Amino acid sequence: MNHVTSETFDENAKAALADSQLRGALRNATSLFGKRRLAAAQGLTNWEDLRTQARAIKDDVLLHLDQYLENFVSQAEARGAKFHWARDGAEANAIICRLAAERNARSIVKSKSMTTEETHLNVALEAAGIQVIETDLGEYIIQLAEETPSHIIVPAIHKTKRQIAELFTQELGIPPTDDVAKLTSTARATLRDRFAAADIGISGVNFGVAETGTIVILENEGNIRLTTSLPRFHIAVMGIEKVVPRFADLDIFLKLLPRSGTGQRLTTYQSFITGTKQNAFDDGPEELHVVMLDNGRSRMLAHPVTRQSLACIRCGACLNACPVYQQIGGHAYGSVYPGPIGAVITPQLMGLEKTQQLPYASSLCGACREVCPVKIDIPRLLLHLRGEITEKSSPEVQQAKGRTMERFAFKMWRLMMLRPWAYNLSARVGRLFQGLVVKDGKIGRVKSFVGPLAAWTSGRDLRPLDQKSFRDKWASDQGKS
Amino acid sequence: MEERSNRNSREAIFESIRGALAASKVLDAKESELHHAAEAAAYLQPGIKHDVASLVELFKENLEAVDGHCIIVETRSDVVQALYEIINKLQGTYLKAKRIAVSDSSEIERLVNLVDVDVDTFAVAPTASEVFNFDVGITYAQAGIAETGTLVLDSSRERNRLVSLVPPVHIAILNASSIVQTLGEALATLRQAEEVSPIITLVTGPSRTADIELTLAIGVHGPQELYVIVNKNLEE
Amino acid sequence: MRVSLFVTCLVDQLWSSVGTSSVEVLRRVGCEVEFDDRQTCCAQPAFNTGYRSEARDVARRFIEIFEETKADAIVSPSGSCTAMVRHYPELFADEPDWLKRAQAIAERTHELSSFLIRVLKREDVGASWNGRLTWHDACHGLRDLNLKSEPRTLLKNVHGAEYVELDNADSCCGFGGTFSVKYPEISLAILDQKIEAIERAGVNAVVAGDASCLMQIGGRLSRHGSKVKVMHIAELLASQEMSGNVR
C-alpha cells in the first residue's frame, strides 16, 4: 500500500493538484453532492430547527457521556449484547482478532466503517491470518486496488469507471467493460460467495440509543444487512461518542444524516439491532459483540471547543462544501478523516506532531460550518488548534520548519501594530524599497528570499503600497480626495 | 484474564471521560452556547394530516420515486392476482422467478399457494445457507411510511429478515391501514412495543449504489426489484 | 449620525481610495466622519494564524482607541475585519473586564454596506457607474456577518450599472490570509474557479466588500492580463460618473 501521511500534506496536495483526472472527478462529485444536499435541506421547512435540536441533543450527550454510555450498555447487555472496551485502536484490533480466533473464524465480511479504518483493523486481521473482505462497493474497489478511502461517504470518489474496469479485469478476470451496471453486478456476484462463507460480520454503528440499547446502521447497498444477518457472529465497532439518549432522537438524526450525506430523504436501509435474536431458530447471528472505542475521544471532552468534534455524524457534507477538499480530494490529508472535519479530528486523534499542517489547510471560509447538520463550528476549531500549535504544543512542533521565522514575524508585527510611529515607519520603508520590484503599477513574479512574497507572486500580481496612505490623505485634507 | 483487562479498559475510559468533563466545567460555564439545554425530543409531527386514501397515494408516489413498484389493490383475491402478474412477468425475464421463498407467516403461504404459476422450489423461511438459492422472497411489511415510501420490517412478527434481503426480488404485502404518514410516527409505534424488537429494518426502494462515478446502479447487494402490494382490504 | 471610520491597515496602506470612498459615501448620506489616526490593525492576521497572545495585545489597543470615540458607530469597509472585532470576546474569555469592553466595541462596529442598509436604511446612496458588474461574497462578510442581500441591494441601485449574479458567488476566492502564502498552489487552484466564473459573467468589474479578496482576485486577473477590473463596494458607491468611462 502506498500510504501517504499527514506529515507531507503540502507535497500530497501538490501531487493531487497535478492529477487532472482526479480534479475532474472531484469537481463533479462535490458539486453534485452539494446541489443534492441543498435541495434536500430545502425540502424540509424546519431544517434549521432540526440542526439546532440535533446539536442540543449531542451537547447533552457529550456533557453526560458517562451516564448515557452506562444506560446504553446496560440496556443492550440485558438484551444479550456483549461489550468490549478499547482504549485505542490496537486494543480494539486485538479484541477483534481474539474474538475471531476463539471462534475459529477464517473468513470475515465487513461493511463500511470509518472507525475500523481509523484502527486499521484489516491490517491486523490479515496479520493474524484471517481473510477479511470489504463489502461496500466503494470499499471493495479500494481494497482490490490496495488503496485507502478518499471520502467518508464515497470511498472511491477518486477513481474513474475506466480505472475500476481495468482493476476488475485484472483482479476478477472479467472482460473489459465501461458499463457501471455490469461492474456492479460483478461485485455482487463475487461478494455473494463471500457472504455465504463468512464466519463473522463486522460493521460500524451510526447511532446507539441509550434508552433501548439499540444500534442503528444506515446504508444503501444492502451489504450491511447481509453482514449483520448472515454470519453466525456480528461484531459492531462503535466510537464512544455515538450515543443518542432516546429512540425519538432518531427521528431528527435520520432526517439530517441522509440529506446531508447524499441528498436522500432516507437511505435505502436502516437496520435497528437491539441485542441478539430471541429464539435459536430465528434468522440472524448467535452473538452480538460491540467494541467500544475511545482512541482519543474522551480527551476531546475536556474543552467545549474541541468537544464539538464529537458531535460529528460522519455525513461528509463539509468535505463536499470545502474549497480545499474540492481541489485536492481526500488522500492528501493522509488520514481516514479528510476535509474540514478531518483537519480538526485527525490532529486530535493522532497528536499534533505529525499532523500540524492540517489545521492550516483551510482558508477559514466557513462553508463547512454552514452545511454541518450538527452545527460544528469547524473554523473555530481550526483556530483553536492553530492556537495550540503556536502556544501549547511540544517544542518539536513549536520549532518546526518555518514556525520560528513566523513567530518572529508576528512578534515584529505586534510591535509595529502597537505603535503608530513604527507602523508608519515600516510603511515608509516599504514604499522606499518597493521601487525595486514595482513595474507598471504592480509587483509581478518575484523570486525572493522573502518566502511569502515569492509565494504570493508565483501566480498573482501584488498590489503595491499606495504612494499616499489613507492616513496621509486624511491628514492633508480630511479624506476629501 | 480477558475479563479483567476488559474491566480495566472500561474503567480507564470512564475515568478519562469523567476527568475530561470535570476539567471542562470551568470553561463550559463561559460558553453561552451550552446554556440552551436540549429539549427532550418528541417525534416530529406532520404538518398536514392525510387520510388513509391519500396516505396510500403518497406512499406509492414516494416509493416509485426511489424505483420501487407499487400495486394498490382492494381485496385478498386482488393480492393473489397481483402476485400472479408480478411472478408471471418476472418468469419471462432473466430473473426466472421459479424459486420462491416466503416468510413464515401462514397467511403468506396460503396466498402464494393460490397463485397459479410454475414453481420449481418453494420454501418457508429458508436458512442462511439455503436462502441464496431463491429468486423471489415474499413477506409482509408490518408498516409503511407514506412520506418516504418506506417499508417497516419487524422480524419479531414473522421470519422475514433473510427472505426480504437475499433473493434478487422482494415482494412485500402491506395493509393500507398500517401506513403511517411520517418517520416519527413509525418510530413512535416501534418504541411503544413492550420491548423493541431485536431486528427492525426500514426499506426504501431497491438496493442501490452510486460508488462508481456517482452513477446510480440498482441492485448491488440487496434486492434489485422491490414490489409492494398495498391491500386496502375493502371486501368486508 | 457620527461615524468613526475603522479603515483597516490593508486599505490604509494599499488601497487608500477605498478609505476616501467610504468617507465620501458616508458624508453623502449625512454622516459626520471622524478618523483616529492612532488605529492600526484589528489583529486578524495573528488571530487566524494561531498567535493569540499577539492578537490579544493588538486587540486591546484597538478597544482602547475606539472606546474613546463619542461617535454613534464604528464603520469599516471590510467584512473580514469587522468580523474579527466581533470575535474579540473569544480572546478575553478569561478576563471579565476586557470581555465586557470587547463586547461593547463589537456591538458598535459595523461593516459599511450593512451599516448603510441595516442602520441608516439607505438602499440608494446616489451612486452612478456605467457598466456591467457582479458581486463576490467575501466569506467572513457572508458567513460571520450574514451579509447577502445588503450589498446586492446597494449594487442594484447604482444608476447606470447592470448587475449580474456571479456563478457560485458565495464560494471562497482562496485568499484565507496566511493560507494564500502557506499553500499558494491550493489557493490558486481555488482562485481559478472564481476567475473562470468571473470571466464567464462577461462583466466590466467584479465588486467585493473586502480589499483582501480583491487583492487575490485582482492579482490573478492582472497576471492573466484580463480586462475585468476589481472594485471595492465603497469605490463603486462613491462613484458618480455617468460618462460611460469604465475605470
Closest in B16, B128, B198 to A274, CB measured: B198
Residues of chain A contacting B220 with CB distance shorter than 8 Å = 137, 184, 187-188, 221-223
Task: Give me the pLDDT at residue A478, please.
Answer: 80
Query: Between B203 and A441, whose confidence is greater?
Result: B203
Cell of C105: 466595541
| Residue C140 to residues B157, C76, C211, Cα–Cα distance (Å) | 55, 13, 12
Q: What is the average pLDDT across B14-25?
A: 96
Residues of chain A contacting B21 with CB distance shorter than 8 Å = 63, 65-66, 301-302
The nearest CA of chain A is from the CA of B4 a distance in Å of: 11
Q: Do domains C2-118 and C124-241 have the same CATH topology?
A: yes
Task: Give me the pLDDT at residue B226, please.
Answer: 98
Residues A229-269 have pLDDT tens digits of: 999 999 999 999 999 999 999 999 999 999 999 999 999 99
Q: What residue spans define the domains of chain C?
A: 2-118, 124-241
B149 and B61 Cβ atoms separated by less than 8 Å: yes
Task: Give me the pLDDT at residue A400, please.
Answer: 85
Residues of chain B contacting A270 with CB distance shorter than 8 Å = 201-202
Count CB atoms within 10 A of the CB of residue B188: 17
Task: Give me the pLDDT at residue C137, please.
Answer: 98
Runs of H (alpha helix) within C68-183: 79-91, 96-108, 112-114, 139, 149-156, 179-182
Residues A175-229 have pLDDT tens digits of: 999 899 999 999 999 999 999 999 999 999 999 999 999 999 999 999 999 999 9
Q: To the nearest 10°, the Cα dihedral for A182, A184, A186, A191?
A: -170
Nearest to A128 by CA among A160, A159, A90: A90
What's the CATH number for C2-118? 3.40.50
Give the mean pLDDT of chain A: 95
Residue A402 has pLDDT above 90, yes or no: no
Closest in B156, B190, B220 to A278, CB measured: B156
In the three-class reduction of DSSP (H, G, I as helix; E, B as strand; rest coil), residue A452 is classed as helix
- A162 and chain B in contact, CB less than 8 A: no
d(CA C131, CA C161): 5
Name which of A50-54, A402-406, B226-230, C6-10 the model is least confident about.
A402-406
Ramachandran angles phi, psi of A438, nearest 5°: -75, 130
d(CA B7, CA A83): 10
Cell of B197: 424488537
The C-alpha cell 461492474 sits at: A183
Cell of C81: 475585519
Closest in A363, A459, A461 to C179, CB measured: A363
For chain A, which chains pass the contact test of at least 3 CB pairs under 8 Å?
A: B, C
Q: How many CB pairs under 8 A join A and C?
A: 203
Query: Between B68 and A401, whose confidence is greater?
Result: B68
Closest residue on chain B to A31 (Cα): B214
d(CA A178, CA A138): 16
B155 and A284 within 8 Å at the Cβ level: the answer is yes
B24 and A282 within 8 Å at the Cβ level: the answer is no
Residues A308-336 have pLDDT tens digits of: 999 999 999 999 999 999 999 999 999 99
- Residue B131 is given by DSSP the state G
Closest in B20, B132, B212 to A164, CB measured: B212
Q: What is the average pLDDT across C121-141?
A: 97
Sheet holding A131-134, edge to edge: A82-86, A287-293, A233-239, A200-203, A107-110, A131-134
Residue A2 has pLDDT above 90, yes or no: no
Residue B40 has pLDDT above 80, yes or no: no
Residue A303 has pLDDT above 60, yes or no: yes
Q: What is the average pLDDT across A362-380?
A: 98
Ramachandran category for residue A388: left, alpha or beta (phi over 0 → left; psi -120 to 50 → alpha):
alpha
Read off the amino acid at residue B66: V
B198 and A229 within 8 Å at the Cβ level: the answer is no
C46 and A411 within 8 Å at the Cβ level: the answer is no
Q: Are β-strands B199-203 and B150-154 bridged in parallel, bridged antiparallel, or unpaired?
A: antiparallel
Domains and CATH numbers, chain A: 44-295 (3.40.50.10420), 306-398 (1.10.1060.10), 424-477 (no CATH)
Q: For chain C, give the percent of residues with pLDDT over 90.
A: 96
Residues A410-450 have pLDDT tens digits of: 999 999 999 999 999 999 999 999 988 999 899 999 887 67
Q: For chain C, give the percent of residues with pLDDT over 70.
A: 98
Residues of chain C contacting A473 with CB distance shorter than 8 Å = 16, 19-20
Task: Give me the pLDDT at residue A3, please.
Answer: 61
Residues of chain B contacting A282 with CB distance shorter than 8 Å = 155, 159, 161, 198
Q: For chain A, give the percent of residues with pLDDT over 90.
A: 89
Cell of C30: 449625512
The nearest CA of chain A is from the CA of C30 a distance in Å of: 15
d(CA A329, CA A331): 6
C219 and A456 Cβ atoms separated by less than 8 Å: yes
- Residue C3 is given by DSSP the state E
- A184 and chain B in contact, CB less than 8 A: yes
Task: Give me the pLDDT at residue A479, please.
Answer: 65
Q: What is the average pLDDT across B162-173?
A: 98
- Which CATH architecture best describes the domain C124-241? 3-Layer(aba) Sandwich (3.40)
Q: How many CB pairs under 8 A join A and B?
A: 256
In the three-class reduction of DSSP (H, G, I as helix; E, B as strand; rest coil), residue C39 is classed as coil
C48 and A455 within 8 Å at the Cβ level: the answer is no
Q: What is the average pLDDT across A350-376?
A: 96
Task: Give me the pLDDT at residue A449, please.
Answer: 66
Residue C245 has pLDDT above 90, yes or no: no
Q: Are β-strands B150-154 and C73-76 bridged in parallel, bridged antiparallel, or unpaired?
A: unpaired
Closest in B44, B202, B221 to A226, CB measured: B221
Task: Give me the pLDDT at residue B38, please.
Answer: 54
In the three-class reduction of DSSP (H, G, I as helix; E, B as strand; rest coil), residue A51 is classed as helix
A481 and C20 within 8 Å at the Cβ level: the answer is yes
Residues of chain A contacting B155 with CB distance shorter than 8 Å = 282-284
Closest in A266, A273, A299 to B199, CB measured: A273
A468 and C53 within 8 Å at the Cβ level: the answer is no
- C222 and chain A in contact, CB less than 8 A: yes
Touching A: C residues 76-135, CB under 8 Å: 90
Task: Give me the pLDDT at residue B44, please.
Answer: 76
Task: Give me the pLDDT at residue A477, please.
Answer: 85
Bridge-partner residues for C162, per DSSP?
A: C132
d(CA C206, CA C215): 12
Residues of chain A contacting B95 with CB distance shorter than 8 Å = none
Residue B35 has pLDDT above 90, yes or no: no
- Residue A104 is given by DSSP the state T
Read off the amino acid at residue C8: T
Residues C195-243 have pLDDT tens digits of: 999 999 999 999 999 999 999 999 999 999 999 999 999 999 999 986 5
ipTM score assigned to the predicted complex: 0.96
